Structure 1
Amino acid sequence: MNAQIESHQQRKLAIAERLPVLLAGAPDLAQRFKAVREFSSQIRASEYHLTNACNIRCKGCWFFEFGHDKTSTEAKDLADWEQFTIDQSYQGINCALLIGGEPTLFADRIGAFAETMQYVSISTNGLKPFPNRDPFRNVTVFISLFGGGPLDDQLRAIKPSGTAFTGLFETTLKNYHNDPRATFVFAATEDGIEYIEPTVKRIRDNGNVVTFNFYSKYNTGHPLRMKNERRLLEEMQRVRNEYPETVLNHPSHIEAIVTGKTWCGTFGHDVCPSISQDHPGNAARQANGNPTLPLFNAYKADLKTLEICCTSGRCSDCRDSQAVYSWLMVSLSKSLDSIETLTTWVEVAESYWRQFIWSPYHHSAKNKPDQRELNLAGIHIERNSRPLSHFPA
C-alpha cells in the first residue's frame, strides 16, 4: 500500500509541476485539456455481466472460451436487478458497461440501469435489434464485428447448437441503420487485412461509426504472435486516415492494440487499470503503484461475484480496445515529456469519448465543448486538485 500511495503522490507532483509549464505556451491545447479532463472527472464506471445466455457462439469469444457462463448463477428477478443498480449508484457509480452473454436478450435489465445511471453502454453481437425508445435512447450500443467480410460469418454466425448461418453483418446493419447510438467494434485480424476498408465503407454508408479492436485467437496457443503485424497496422492506420469521421480510434491507440506499445510504455497486466478493485486476486497488481480505475468492479450475472478484470483474465492474450484505452487515459503523468506527447494524450482522450452517444464528444452531441468559452484562468493544476475519477492520472 505504501508503494501505491507513494506512486500516486509522485504522479500528482509531476502533473502539478510539469503540466502548467507545457500548457502555458499552448492556449488552444489548454482549453481542450481542461474540457476533456472535466468531463472525464464526472465518470465513475463499473462493468456488469447482464446474463450468461447468448444467441450465438462466436469463435474467440473469451466469455465462452474460458467458461465464464458456468461460474455463476444468473439473477432472474428484475426486482433484484433494480435494487442492485440503486445500490451501485449509492456507492458512487454513474456509468455502467453491460456485457454478457448477450444483453439485448434482457432489455428490462438494461432498463433498470438506464433508469438509475446517467451513462450506460451495452456490448451486443447485433443479431437482435435494441429498442430505440425511452429509457434506451441515450444508451451507447457497441456492436461486435470479427474479421470483416466473409470472416465475420465464419467467426460469429454460429448458433448455440453449433449450426452455422449466414448474413450476420447484414442483419446487424439493418438493425442499426442510421442509429446514432451504434458504434461497431471491429476486431481486425491479420487474416482479413483486405476486408478492413470495404467493411469500414459499409459501416460508413450505413450511417454508423467504428472503433478498431484486435482479434485475439485464444485457441491457437500463441494468439499475439503474428506474421503480418506491420501490414495489419499499416492498413488499419491507412483506413483510419482515409475515413477519419467514421473510424474513431486515435493512431496511437491503433498502434497500442496491435503492437502493445506506444508513447507511454508497453501494455500488460502490470499496467492495465481495468481490474476489479475489490477482487482479492488483484492485490499484488494494485500494490505495484501503477494507476487503476477507482471504484471499478466487474460483476458476474449473480450480482455478487467479481470477475478479476474487464475481460478474460488471460492477460498475456489480451489486447482489448477498451482496456487499452483506459491504460492510455491513466497515463497522463507519462505524457508530459513534451507538448507533442501531451497533445497525443489529449487527442486520445477526445477520441475515446467520441464512442459514446451520451458524451459531448459524440458526433451527434448538441452541446460539444466550446473551446472559446472555457476559462483559461482555471487551467492551473493545484497540488491537491481532484484526480480524474474514471481515468486517474
Structure 2
Amino acid sequence: MSVLAACRQIQAEHPHLREKYSRARKVVRAFKSPAFYEVTTKCNLKCEGCYYFEGGKTASIPARDRIDDWKKFFADEAARGVSMAYFVGAEPAMAPDRLMAAAEHFPYGNIGTNGTIRIDPSVQYRIGVSVWAGDDESDKQLRGGSVFRKALRNYAGDPRAIILLTVSSWTVDQIPRVAELCKDHGLPLTFNIFSPTHEFNRKLSISAPNDSDFFRVSSPLSSPKLDDAALERLRRAMNQAIEDFPETVIYSKSYNDYICQPGARYELDPETGIAMDCQSRIREPMRYFDVSLRPNPVKCGTPDVDCRTCRMYSGGWSSQFIPKPRDTASPEAFEGWLDSLETLGRIFLYSPADAGAAKAVA
C-alpha cells in the first residue's frame, strides 16, 4: 500500500484524525515556495564551528548596497510567488533596512538571529533567537562572548520570537536552566542540535591548533560534537523538558526520538556524502540568494554542514513535510507525524492575526 493510500485508510478508520490532517496540510502549504536570502555577511559574534564562516563560501561576496535594489528584488520575489522567506547570513539584524524592505512582501518569513540586536517591530515575521548556553562561562566559550541574557531581555514577551537553543555535548545539562529562563521572560523555547561543518571536522581530524575566530577551544578530545551516548542523553533531556515545561517548550517527542537516533538521518549519496532526501536542499522551486542578489547553487541553507551528522533543525523539520512509510505504520505513528507538523508550524510560522487572536483568548 502506498503512503498516500495508508494516510486515507487511517483517516477512514479513525475520523478524529481528519481535522489534524487538514491543519497539517495547511502548514505544509505555507512552505510550498520557499527561498533563502542572505541579507548581510557581517556578524558581531564568533561562534565555535560557525555554520556561516567556518567553511562557508559566500561570506566574501560583495553585497548590493543600494536599498532601492533590495526593495525591487523583494518585490520581484513576491511576484514570483515566494510563500516563505528565510532571512539568513551572518547576522541579519545587522541589516535592518533590508529586513524592513522585505517585511511587506511575503506572507511568511523566518529570521535567524543571535538576539543581540532587537529587530524593528514593523518586521512581522517569526524570529528564531539563537541561544547556545544558559550560563556565562559556556556562552563565552561557545560564542566568543556572553550574550544570552541580552537576547532574552531584547525579546522578552515578543510574540514574534522563539528561543532556539543549539544544544551541544557541552550544554545538554543546561536545558532545564534555559527553559526556566525562557519561562520567566515569556518566551517559547525549541531546540537545534549542534551539527559540525566539514571544515570543523577537518580541523579536529588533523588536530589543528586553536585560533581566535571559530576554532578557539575545541580539540579531538573535547568538542561540542555529540557522540551516540551524548545523543541519547540529549534525547532524554529534551523529552523531559517537554514534560516539565509544557507551556514553554515547543517540541515533539516523536521528532525528538527520530532526530536523536545514532547514524545519518538522511539517505546519503555514496560518492558525495550529500543528503539526497533532505527537504532543505536547494532545488526548484526553492532558491538561495547571496548578498549580490543572485541565486547561488549551494546544497542547502547551511552549505558546509556535514550531511552525515547533520541534525540541524531546519533540514530535520522540513524533511517532515512528506510522510514516510514509518509515519503510516500505525494510527499512533500517523498521529505522531501529524503532531510533528503542528509543532513545525508553531516553530516556523508567525502570523500577527493569529498572535492577536491568541492574546484575546488568553
TM-score (norm 2): 0.82
Change in 2 beyond 3 A, CA 1:332/1:40: same
Q: How far, CA to CA, are the matches of 1:340 and 1:361 in structure 2?
A: 32
Contact 2:192 2:312 in 1 (8 A): yes
Q: Which of 135, 139, 164 is 1:152 aligned to? A: 139
Deviation at 1:357, TM superposition (A): 5.3
| Percent identity for Structure 1 against Structure 2 | 25
Counterpart AA for 2:250: L
Q: Which of 277, 286, 289 is 1:271 aligned to? A: 277
Question: Residue 166 of structure 2 corresponds to which residue in structure 1?
Answer: 187
Deviation at 1:261, TM superposition (A): 7.0
Question: Residue 260 of structure 2 corresponds to which residue in structure 1?
Answer: 258
Deviation at 1:146, TM superposition (A): 1.3
Deviation at 1:176, TM superposition (A): 0.7
Q: Which moved more, 1:303-312 or 1:145-154?
A: 145-154
Question: Residue 25 of structure 2 corresponds to which residue in structure 1?
Answer: 37
Q: How far, CA to CA, are the matches of 2:78 and 2:258 in structure 1?
A: 33
Contact 1:102 1:124 in 2 (8 A): yes
Matched, 1:331 2:333: no
Counterpart AA for 1:270: M
For residues 242-257 of structure 1, what are the structure 2 equivalents within 5 Å?
A: 242-257=244-259
Contact 1:125 1:144 in 2 (8 A): yes
Deviation at 1:301, TM superposition (A): 1.4
Matched, 1:208 2:198: no
SS in structure 1 of the partner of residue 93 of structure 2: helix
Q: Could you give the per-residue CA deviations for residues 326-365 of structure 1, whole angstroms, max 9, x where no partner exists?
A: 1122235652222112101100000001124525997x36
TM-score (norm 1): 0.76
Deviation at 1:208, TM superposition (A): 0.2
Question: Residue 172 of structure 1 corresponds to which residue in structure 2?
Answer: 151
Question: Residue 71 of structure 2 corresponds to which residue in structure 1?
Answer: 82
Deviation at 1:95, TM superposition (A): 1.3
Q: Which of 16, 19, 39 is 1:28 aligned to? A: 16
Matched, 1:236 2:238: yes
Contact 2:36 2:88 in 1 (8 A): yes
In structure 2, the gaps of 5 or more residues are 206-219, 269-274
Contact 1:148 1:186 in 2 (8 A): no
Deviation at 1:143, TM superposition (A): 0.7
For residues 307-322 of structure 1, what are the structure 2 equivalents within 5 Å?
A: 307-313=298-304, 314-322=306-314
Paired residue total: 326
Change in 2 beyond 3 A, CA 1:90/1:46: same
SS in structure 1 of the partner of residue 320 of structure 2: helix
Q: How far, CA to CA, are the matches of 2:289 and 2:21 in structure 1?
A: 32
Q: How far, CA to CA, are the matches of 2:129 and 2:267 in structure 1?
A: 24
Deviation at 1:206, TM superposition (A): 0.5
In structure 1, the gaps of 5 or more residues are 1-12, 159-164, 278-293, 369-393
Question: Residue 366 of structure 1 corresponds to which residue in structure 2?
Answer: 357
